[in-house]
Amino acid sequence: MKKLGFGLMRLPLLNPNDDASVDIEQAKQMVDLFMQRGFTYFDTAIMYHNCVSQRVAKEILVDRYPRDSFTLATKLHSAFFDSLEDRDRVFSEQLEQTGAGYFDYYLIHGVEASNYPKYEKYDCFNWVLEKKRQGLVRHAGFSFHDTPELLDRILTKYPELEFVQMQLNYLDWESEWVQSRAVYEVAVKHGKPVVVMEPVKGGTLAKVPDAVTQMFKTAAPDMSVPSWAIRFAATQENVMMVLSGMSSIQQMEDNTGYMQDFTPLTEEEIALTHQAADIINGKITVPCTGCSYCTEGCPKHIPIPKYFSLYNENMREDLEEKGWTVNESYYENLTNTFGKASDCIACGQCESVCPQHLPIIRLMRDVAKHFEG
């Protein structure tokens, strides 16, 4: 397979304030271009796009292409089952929603210290291996958001698991929180191929400081800024697939263009990405990837990632010179539909599911102070 996968997590929307309002016609065009250029890997999950992504996958892909012409991955998340029987119920619903008949790749979703005990309690790792033996799953693995030590423990206990999906990008490569490099090296040690998620860190590495843009454009004038992030991930030898949650036909054109005949980065180009990471890390206030796991159960309906994005944008501005930015209007407009940052009741639901382990409650107070005074 070519190394670029289509993540069905950030599809184009008809209404930017409704994650379920997927622009089906544009999404179909994106799938068609993806397939025409020889790419076949698609990734979905239960909660993506407010729990409609799997049905969307059926409409834009499964119903339109022969089953053996594409590769489909989905996942079992800890929030959607509470018994041994629930695991099979969820799996059956996924087969029905996607119409796929079987899954080429099936993952235990978002494994980390907080939910690992639940996955163990309900024997989920052996369960997915049994699905493979039944022919309902071709390849069994898991996605991971935690320390190298926990990954080593899981892969030692379950050597039959075939692959690991992890967050890997040049910004998180040496991060003390995400530890991309260290986690990747554990997968390599166990001989497990890696599927990369968040190579562009939720768009962060598509909108970089001007100094980084200039540096990249000087080195490779014809390459887009986000291409550096995706190519960095794909350059790692043990990476078998890099997922990109593309949101427009233009992004699809760009990504498939340079990944059709992928050329790994040189040592000099990798050094540039490390320089870029140093510059970007000095500019980011909240390292949110915009995955929106936090919004699903928020009792005050606060669009946390949207507020973090506006906050980050404002913190990169010279506010003393400008005095006002359009981000303040964007924030006010959003509060007409959603809860304000100051509405947060500190219930902790968001922090319990955040793959980046962000202190969201504290950060919401910062956002409220910044935009609401």
Q: Along the 373 residues of the chain, how does pLDDT read in single tens digits?
A: 899 999 999 999 999 989 999 999 999 999 999 999 999 999 999 999 999 999 999 999 999 999 999 999 999 999 999 999 999 999 999 999 999 999 999 999 999 888 999 999 999 999 999 999 999 999 999 999 889 999 999 999 999 999 999 999 999 898 877 789 999 999 999 999 999 999 998 888 998 999 999 999 999 999 999 999 999 999 999 999 999 999 999 999 999 999 999 999 999 999 999 999 999 888 788 989 889 999 988 999 999 999 998 898 788 666 666 567 778 887 988 998 999 999 999 999 999 999 988 999 999 999 999 999 8
CA atoms within 13 A on the CB side of 360: 31
Residues paired with residue 6 on neighbouring β-strands, in sequence order: 42, 244
How distant is the alpha carbon of residue 100 from its chain centre? 22
**Identity at 148, one-letter amino acid code:** P
Counting beta carbons within 10 angstroms of the beta carbon of residue 159, is it exposed (0 to 12), middle (13 to 18) or buried (19 or more)?
exposed
Q: 120 to each of 67, 84, 114, 221, how far by Cα in Å?
A: 32, 11, 12, 49
How many other CB atoms sit within 10 Å of the CB of residue 261? 8
Q: What is residue 343's DSSP assignment?
A: G
| Residue 247, CB-side half-sphere exposure with 13 Å CA sphere | 14
Half-sphere exposure of 367 (CA within 13 A, CB side): 31
Q: Which helix (H) or strand (E) holds 87?
A: helix 84-98
Give the DSSP H/E element, type plus range, for residue 124: helix 124-133
Q: Which helix (H) or strand (E) holds 104?
A: strand 103-111
The answer to pTM > 0.95 is: no
CB 303, CB 294: distance < 8 Å: no
Which residue type, as a one-letter code, is found at position 354? Answer: C
Name the DSSP class of 364: H
Which amino acid is present at 212? Answer: V
